[in-house]
A = this chain, B = another copy of it.
């Protein structure tokens, strides 16, 4: 018979410690914590006291390993510095705050296969406004509306693989105006660009909205207070994150999703930048 090996684990109390102190089996502690209603009132209190005294906190890794369930929400976003995605993440995060789920950012390490797939996905989404599927669909919507109004002219559209920014908005607008001096309105794929256009108008003393109308997309808070205030399309980003969590949890619970695709809607915020009197 060999001597027992030295214990490896850190000093943290384990479920066994709690069980011993409470004078019950480990599994009862486990149950008391996860399904309190399945444990008698008295034992539950006894256990709670032991938990408090030892300051016991379950180990999520052991739990995940034993139950084969992770309680981790992976969130994959193309860009962390983009406010749009930051708000989606916040929606996800808040929706999970009352659960034991952890939020993990863009983990491509989980699966080698996923890693490649996601990497490609990432790459395919950040190379620029033109390739981003969301941008493409906005463009399609713009086109459809313009065609319906018999105003569509492909030459009026500018796309670029350069990442969107306020600076880019200024630059593109300057170029567009040079090519088409009679230009009298700009619909920007997002608010950054719209702000860039606005600043460029100030710089060049171009009256907004009288000479040039401006409309952005996303409706960041700033658009409302800009001078003049800028018309934009408000998307419900936070709600997207929230809904995503709701649906994911339903799916996890084995429920079949009634509406695998939810239309979160949007709002057109009409402001001064397009309000020609």
* A binding-site residues for B, Cβ under 8 Å: 8-10, 55, 57, 59-62, 64-65, 68, 70, 80-81, 83, 86-87, 89-90, 93, 100, 102-107, 109-113, 165-167, 170, 192, 195-196, 199-200, 202-203, 221-222, 224-227
Contacts and interface: CB of A to CB of B under 8 A. Distances in A.
23 contacts: A9-B68, A57-B110, A57-B111, A61-B65, A65-B65, A80-B86, A80-B87, A80-B93, A81-B90, A83-B83, A93-B105, A103-B105, A103-B107, A104-B104, A104-B105, A105-B105, A166-B221, A166-B225, A167-B224, A170-B225, A192-B222, A195-B222, A200-B227
Nearest to A52: B112
A59 B81 CA distance: 30
A261 to B, nearest CB: 26
B222 A203 contact: no
Contact of A102 (B9, B65, B104): B104
B55 A112 contact: yes
A225 B196 contact: yes
A89 B105 CA distance: 10
Contacts of A110: 57, 60
B225 A167 contact: yes
A203 to B, nearest CB: 5
Number of copies: 2
A103 B104 contact: yes
Sorted nearest first, the 3 A-B pairs with minimum C-beta distance are: A202-B227, A61-B64, A199-B227
Contact of A221 (B65, B113, B167, B202): B167
A89 B77 CA distance: 13
Contacts of A64: 61
A116 to B, nearest CB: 11
A90 B170 CA distance: 26
Given A65-B61, A107-B103, A199-B227, A81 B70 contact: no
B55 A222 contact: no
A61 B67 CA distance: 11
A113 B81 contact: no
